[in-house]
Structure 1
Amino acid sequence: MDRKDVYSLLLLAGGKSLRMGKDKARLLYGGKTFAELIIDKAKEVGIDRIFVSGFELEGDVGEVVWDRYPDRGPLGGLHACMKEMETPFCLVLPVDVPRLSPEILEELLVYHERHRRGLTRGREIPLLWEHGVRKEPLIGVYPVAMAETIEEMIKERALPVFRVLDRWGYECFLRDIPEDQILNVNTPELYKRLLESRPDGTAEGRGGKMEKERVQILKITGNQFQEKEDDVALEYQYCLRLKDGREISISCTPTHMEELSLGRRFLLGDLAGEIKPVHADPVESISLKKIFQTAKEMFENPGTLFSDTGCAHSCVLMMEGRVLCSMEDIGRHNALDKVIGYALKYEIPIPKCAVFSSGRISQDYLQKAIQAGFSVVLSRAAVTGSAVALAKKEDITLLGFIRKETGNIYHMGHVKISEK
């Protein structure tokens, strides 16, 4: 069957763009709008039925569909467009990833075509893109038959996309891609960074990729010196502008900048009226087996930045034994901010999650996790005495020195810890 008879493009272009301050769909990159770039890439992979959610674009760009349930976030756009489609599947893409390549989309579609019959749980299920251990719920192939379930969830006010996915079931296509290709351009600072970058992902004036660069070194071996090249982590100075006019300089790894901004601004109280965390009952139990498995993965398969430079901390978001995302940064606090930002961006209920750090847990780190809503904090490294005291005061489950089948419980909290 011809691909154009199987897939439509569902372009999510109707976000409020509060952080950007202007319509993202009309932003220009390389002489074209973001919307035009995404539509062109869909056509390159053989999809010519275009549905644009919630935004009127100039020219012949496809069918514009307005939400039947306004102000319901991405679910409103998914539902409205699916109700208008005649194809059995849709390729879902957000408008703010202008550098996503057609080669990546082709890989996703080919995988779906080859494995479609196996992607069932009594019905067709979505196939999401996963890179590293981070899932992208708004980059994937969705069955159009989900429309009725999405409508039910909207009526139940269960708006996080992952809530719908968990109810319906989903699978992931694991494939690492350069971070700059999935950069969500949602702030003026990120748009500026996009414009300053070259198409190959190299930042102007740096001569290296966005998270590392190569330098000349003298390698010492015994009493011998040898000239070599080595990768070092980039230290990027990010200026975060708050609503009250203050500017905060953050020394960070220049990846997942939207998540970093969201997490830090939330903790500073700068997102009032824009984003609200999803309220939920706290974690009731955690599995030692899953914790040790995650610790093993962090040790054996650290992030690419740590593998290449040895200069990064990792922070992992876990919910019900599943890893939802893993973030890297030269600063452990930044990695936590990115995880918090990821949870806010995709409306993941933080109280139901545990956070797992590669670095030490100090009092200020634990305080930040508590402020975000976590009640379970885990680490491969040490825990300070002040952090233990704070965990006991706030009744937070705190574990440290977690290795393969070993670890220390500093405070049990209200959570039940099971072996399975």
Structure 2
Amino acid sequence: MEKEFKHTTERKITRYENGEFKEKEDLIALEKPITIRINHTEFATLVCTPDHLEDMVIGFLASEGVIRSYHDVEEMLFNDGQGIVNVKAAVQGSLTSETYTKRVISSCCGKSRHFYLQSDSKTARTIMKAPELTASVCLANMRTLQEQSATFKSTGGVHNAAIFKNGEMVASRTDIGRHNALDKLYGYALRHHLHPSDLSVAFSGRISSEVVIKLSKMGIGVLLSKSAPTELAIQLADDLNITTVGFIRHEGFNVYTKPERILI
């Protein structure tokens, strides 16, 4: 069903270094709009890294409350030239209602929060069960995420996220938008019938409110990040019973919410 794309392209640039300019080839992260049509109705345009698109579309539709499971999707056809994916699915409710309106979700995550408010009330959930992780596993998971992030190392322009189970990485995804990277993981988990109570997520970006809400929609209760949380994210994580661990660097980290799941 899915067409794979590369993450990067090469481009000539001018670099200043040691007092002089030099021309060189550089790797640049790709960014493309993908328009989702559901049952012939245009639903949303996602600006994203054009890779693992089936996972992203499945995760996004589940996150928005349009579908409940992977089995709700009957067909998914990609038109690469037009940047369109046509989805035939058994949807929850009417796509023409006020709950679902045509919109563009940009890769600049901070300005897309208002697009999610209506679906959040339907799909965000309090986490009832989540794994306990040792401190050493938290550090090891973040090292694993960073070590396999080839696109970030070559471009510096993407977010990385990975699902872990019992200290082992199950899947990793890359995208210019942090919400897209999480949707790709969500889609993967749904397609492979992974039970969310067994999983944790390691993440390269800051812990924002929309990231916490996305984890709650996925049903995953432990989030590890190398960056910092916002105050609203901490409040939401506390309310939704999600453990948030930030500033995972070298041999230390901060536990902001639900510290009982992190063990010595």
1:219 to 1:274, Cα distance in 2 relative to 1, 3 A: closer
The two structures, once aligned, show a CA RMSD in angstroms of 2.1
1:275 to 1:405, Cα distance in 2 relative to 1, 3 A: farther
Q: 2: distance between equivalents of 1:273 and 1:326?
A: 20
**Which of 117, 122, 129 does residue 282 from structure 1 map onto?**
129
Q: 2: distance between equivalents of 1:242 and 1:399?
A: 37
Give the corresponding residue for 2:231: 385
Matched, 1:229 2:74: no
The one-letter amino acid paired with 1:417 is I
Give the corresponding residue for 1:346: 192
Report deviation, 1:246. Answer: 3.1
Matches within 5 A, 1:44-59: none
1:408 to 1:274, Cα distance in 2 relative to 1, 3 A: closer
**Are the equivalent residues in 2 in contact too, given 1:242–1:265 (CA < 8 A)?**
no
Report deviation, 1:221. Answer: 1.2
Report deviation, 1:343. Answer: 0.5
Matched, 1:312 2:151: no
Report deviation, 1:255. Answer: 1.1
Q: 1: distance between equivalents of 2:199 and 2:180?
A: 18
1:242 to 1:269, Cα distance in 2 relative to 1, 3 A: farther
Report deviation, 1:364. Answer: 1.2
Q: Where has structure 1 moved over 6 Å in runs of 4 or more?
A: none
Deviations 1:41-100 (A, max 9, x none): xxxxxxxxxxxxxxxxxxxxxxxxxxxxxxxxxxxxxxxxxxxxxxxxxxxxxxxxxxxx
Instruction: Give the 3-state SS of the residue equivalent to 1:246 in structure 2.
Output: strand
Matches within 5 A, 1:80-119: none
The one-letter amino acid paired with 1:324 is V
Q: Percent identity?
A: 30
**Which of 340, 355, 358 does residue 201 from structure 2 map onto?**
355
Report deviation, 1:367. Answer: 0.7
TM-score, normalised by the number of residues in structure 1: 0.47
Report the count of equivalent residues.
Answer: 210
Matched, 1:416 2:261: yes
Matches within 5 A, 1:321-336: 321-336=167-182
Higher relative contact order (CA 8 A, sep 6+): 2
The one-letter amino acid paired with 1:261 is V
Deviations 1:396-416 (A, max 9, x none): 111111123200010126x53
Report deviation, 1:275. Answer: 3.6
Report deviation, 1:222. Answer: 3.9
Q: 2: distance between equivalents of 1:400 and 1:305?
A: 22
**Are the equivalent residues in 2 in contact too, given 1:361–1:381 (CA < 8 A)?**
yes
**Which of 348, 369, 376 does residue 222 from structure 2 map onto?**
376
**Are the equivalent residues in 1 in contact too, given 2:142–2:224 (CA < 8 A)?**
no
Report deviation, 1:274. Answer: 4.8
Give the corresponding residue for 1:214: 10
Unaligned 5+ runs, structure 1: 1-184, 195-208
Between Structure 1 and Structure 2, the one with more strand by share is 2
**Bigger Rg, which one:** 1
1:351 to 1:241, Cα distance in 2 relative to 1, 3 A: farther
Give the corresponding residue for 2:62: 266
Report deviation, 1:349. Answer: 0.5
Report deviation, 1:318. Answer: 1.1
